[in-house]
Chain A
Amino acid sequence: MMEILSNGPLNIIVDRGRIGFLASGVSRSGAIDSLSYELGNAMLGNSREAASIEINNFPFKVRMSEACCVAITGALSTSRIGQKQHAPWSRLKVNAGETLVIEAPQEGRCVYLAIEGGIEVQRVLNSCATDLKAAFGGHEGKALAKGDSLRSSPRNSAASAAPSSLFDPALQTYWRALSEAGTTVRVLPSAEWQEFSDESKERFFNTHYTVGRSSNRQGYRLSGAVLKRTVNRELLSHGIVPGTVQIPTSGEPIIQLVDANTCGGYPKLVNVIEADLWKLGQLMPGRTLRFELTDIDAALSAGAQRHSLFETTATQWR
């Protein structure tokens, strides 16, 4: 059992997201940085889809009523148990009665707290993820608040791990670059690709776009080069997926993310490939990103590589 000691309108239970209900208008939901979320589970020997906490509001405080092992991944923040401080991306043992505090990140948007065994919540529509829009899933369809108590699923392995931390070289590269050069995500052409001039596309790929202030789990508004569509055709409403880059009339791109509406009507220039979606999840307003054109074969092999990181990490931490 654990008791939440802090309020946070966007501290939510997440998993890999909800598959199979887009046609009912239900968003994917789930972890916005799917890689950090998965690796937290890998560090504890959990299954890939064990429910964890996505923390967007800081400081986050939780008191453990029983000893347990946790993994802290995602945004770079310091955590404390009593007076003792711990580095980001750590696996820690918390004793019964101790309080874990996670401070505001120096870099990044959200921290994942994975608990050994995973958090136990009812699966709704095939997922543990919180859907704040329709208020279901996760912890009673709501964000975590002071006084909420959660339990983790029982596990037979003893929580004996000595405190240790992981920082994969590839991840280090991502986090080091974030504050100066920003990040780069690979994209595939989308439905209205041909309706933008070559000049517009060149501008799109040569611009460092800045994440706007009104950016959240639904999507990011970007500022930078303005793009012009050469065709003036109204689109009828159509299904969209996380990673869709739309160009509204203003000409500045919008990226749809995990909590995005399931249907849209704006022209779609490109889609961020599955393997790079996680990189978007940690961009705070003001951070920059670039787009790089790729092809479907490269996207598929990047996906396979991204997928295998879980197993590699799980093996290393066994």
Chain B
Amino acid sequence: MILFEPTLATSKAVDTSVRISLAGTDGLLLDVSCGPYDKALQQRLWALNNTLRDPQSFPGLIETVPGVNNLLVIYDPRKIPPDAAAQVLSDLWVSSSPTPIKGKHFVIDMIYGGEHGMDLDYVAEQTGLTPRDVIALHSSVTYTVAALGSMPGFPYLVGLPPALEVPRRQIPRTLIPKGSVVIAGEQASVFPCPGPCGWHVIGHADFDGFDSQAMPPALLSPGDTLVFRSKAQLK
């Protein structure tokens, strides 16, 4: 039986191996990650994602899902055979170069701690900081939207200060409200709708991140930047 060879090509870029694998009958996953999140690789993926929008570049393309240092491509295998599709994807990746996106900037006003930020004290404990320091650190940096996914409009934010890294919860919460501001590992986010969550909830923002009547329906796009700003002093 001939299996699809998961590793098809190696990029010319230094230290970067390209892995293209099947994601079911009509999907290919291009994974270029090599360890933690890499900004330059992400900017190359955004450029590749833009190129793919041109129907000439990838016949039969249906949709793409930019992830964190990876890209999922959904296509019609009746229009382009899988091995040809993988080759096109690999070639386009090799010829792509980092293109920073001039995204929109958002300021998100939020309340830290309290009833809707129940893990603030836990995060402080785990990091050896005071809750006040956690707030100061979390609101001191500019975050970049690396990708959207998981739930409608949910941003994967990069830029969390390393001092705030805490492994995710052992047991996820079954439901946290819309607007919950969360962190886990090196990632950060804010919930656009209610949902289950294994990350730590440190506060709450008035955040309307998804509108099914809008186009695109998600407020944020990859490359956008945002800052969190404390609305009230910690009680």
Q: Do A and B bind each other?
A: yes
Q: Does A262 contact B74, Cβ atoms closer than 8 Å?
A: no
Does residue A175 face the partner (Cβ distance < 8 Å to B)? no
Q: Which residues of B contact A90 (CB under 8 A)?
A: none
Is there a chain A Cβ closer than 8 Å to B26's Cβ?
Answer: yes
Interface residues of A in 245-302 (CB under 8 A from B): 261-264, 268, 271-275, 293-297, 299-300
B155 shortest CB reach to chain A, Å: 9
Residues of B within 8 A of A194 (CB): 6
Say yes or no for A42: interface residue by CB 8 A criterion: no
Question: Which residue of chain A has its CB nearest to the CB of B217?
Answer: A24
Question: Cβ of B163 < 8 Å from any Cβ of A?
Answer: no
CB distance from B222 to the nearest CB of A (A): 8
Q: Would A189 and B6 be within 8 Å (CB), given that A236-B68, A271-B23 are in contact?
A: yes
CB of B131 within 8 A of chain A? no
Cβ of A82 under 8 Å from chain B: no
Interchain pairs with CB closer than 8 A, number: 166
**Which among A48-56, A70-78, A133-141 touches the partner chain?**
A133-141
Given contacts A125-B212, A237-B150, contact A23 B63 (CB under 8 A): yes
Question: Could you tell me if B63 and A271 are in contact, using CB atoms closer than 8 angstroms?
Answer: no
The CA of A293 and the CA of B72, in the complex, are separated in Å by: 22
Does A24 contact B67, Cβ atoms closer than 8 Å?
no
Instruction: Verify B153–A239 contact, CB threshold 8 A.
Output: no
- Is B93 at the interface (CB under 8 A from chain A)? no
Interface pair B193/A238, CB less than 8 Å apart: no
On whether the beta carbons of A303 and B25 are closer than 8 Å, the reply is yes
Expressed in whole angstroms, the minimum distance between the Cβ of B199 and any Cβ of chain A is: 12
A263 contacts B67, CB within 8 Å?
yes
Complex CA–CA separation, A87 to B68 (angstroms): 50
B4 interface residue, CB < 8 Å from A? yes
**Are B24 and A273 neighbours in the complex by a CB distance under 8 Å?**
yes
CB-CB under 8 A from B204, the residues of chain A are: none
Of A5-13, A14-22, A93-101, A223-231, which binds chain B?
Answer: A14-22
Q: Is A39 an interface residue (CB 8 A)?
A: no
Min Cβ gap A274→B in Å is 4
- A41-87 CB contacts (< 8 Å) to partner B: none
Decide: B148 and A25 in contact? CB cutoff 8 A: yes
Q: Binary interface profile of B, 45-72, with partner A (CB < 8 Å = 1, else 0)?
A: 0000000000000000011111111111
Stretch at the interface among B27-35, B96-104, B106-114, B118-126: B27-35
Which chain A residues in 187-245 approach chain B with CB under 8 Å? 188-191, 193-194, 235-241, 243-244
Interfacial chain B residues near A244, Cβ < 8 Å:
23-24
Cβ-closest chain B residue relative to A272 = B24
When the two chains form their complex, are residues B4 and A263 in contact, meaning their CB atoms are under 8 A apart? Answer: no
**B218 and A25: CB pair below 8 A?**
yes
Chain A: CB-nearest residue to B25: A274
B1 close to A295 (CB less than 8 A): yes
Interface check B161, CB cutoff 8 A: no
Q: How far is the CB of B192 from chain A (nearest CB, A)?
A: 8
* Known contacts A24-B153, A262-B149: A293-B1 contact under CB 8 Å: yes
B149 and A25 form a contact (CB under 8 A): yes
The contact of A24 among B21, B24, B29, B152, by CB within 8 Å, is B152
Q: Which of B72, B192, B217 contacts A239 (CB 8 A)?
A: B72
* Known A25-B153, A189-B6: A238·B25 in contact at CB below 8 Å: no
* A residues less than 8 Å from B151 (CB atoms): 25, 133-134, 261-262
Closest residue on chain A to residue B185 by CB atoms? A234
CA distance A273 to B25 in the complex (A): 6
> Is A150 part of the contact surface with B, judged by Cβ < 8 Å?
no
Query: How far is B217's CA from A131's CA once the two chains are assembled, in angstroms?
Result: 13
A263 to B70, CA, bound (A): 11
| Docked-complex contact B62 and A188, CB < 8 angstroms | no
| Closest-CB distance, A212 to chain B (whole angstroms) | 16
State the B residues within 8 Å of A (CB). 1-4, 6, 19, 21-27, 29, 31, 33, 37, 62-72, 74, 77-78, 82, 147-154, 156, 187, 192-193, 195, 210, 212-213, 216-218
Question: Which residues of A are in contact with B by a Cβ distance under 8 Å?
Answer: 19-27, 124-125, 131, 133-137, 141, 188-191, 193-194, 235-241, 243-244, 261-264, 268, 271-275, 293-297, 299-300, 303-304
A sample of 17 cross-chain residue pairs with beta-carbon separation below 8 angstroms, ordered by A number, consists of: A23-B64, A26-B152, A134-B151, A134-B210, A189-B3, A189-B4, A189-B6, A189-B21, A191-B21, A191-B29, A236-B33, A239-B23, A271-B25, A273-B25, A295-B2, A296-B82, A300-B25
